[in-house]
Amino acid sequence: MSLDLAAIERIKRVKYLYCEAIDRCDLAQLETILTEDFSADYQGGSYRLQATGRTEFLAAIEAAFHPEFVGCHAVQHPIIDVHGDGTADGRWRLVDYAMSLRDDNLTTIGAANYVDRYVLQDGDWKIARSRYTRIYERVFNEPNPAITFHILGSAAP
């Protein structure tokens, strides 16, 4: 078995850009790394986000990640299989933190296993499908969030 290490590194970069764009609610960045027919199915203990098409997904992200939201999504331990037909499959471990200051400081902490499909389009790897199911999830209202800075709603890079 041979590994296409250059493709694997480029796919890792796409996934890291995805996490960064989610945490910043950078819809323009997300648009560049998702296929037009992108689909998502994210299932937690307290929610389920399903979207068919990049436009529907971007609208859901825009509604969820508002200027009074704090989030951090970190992925690690990638297992990426590149196929000879311009597609690849990837699995990642997600550890995340999210808090909505609008909703009485509703906080979610958890982990999940992502399963993604990637396609090569015009020389660039893009995410075509993404799903996860939670390994665990903790949801609670944080009585004293003590947030001194967050980047959503700001000009921070």
| CA–CA dist 84, 63 (Å, integer) | 37
CB 94 within 8 A of CB 111: yes
Q: What is the pLDDT of residues 15-52, one digit of tens each?
A: 999 999 999 899 999 999 999 999 999 999 988 999 99
Those residues of the chain that have pLDDT short of 70 are 1-2, 153-157
> Please, what are the domains in the chain?
5-141 (3.10.450.50)
Q: What is the DSSP letter of 152?
A: T
Helix (H) or strand (E) holding 115: strand 106-121
pTM over 0.85, yes/no: yes
Q: What pLDDT does residue 129 have?
A: 98
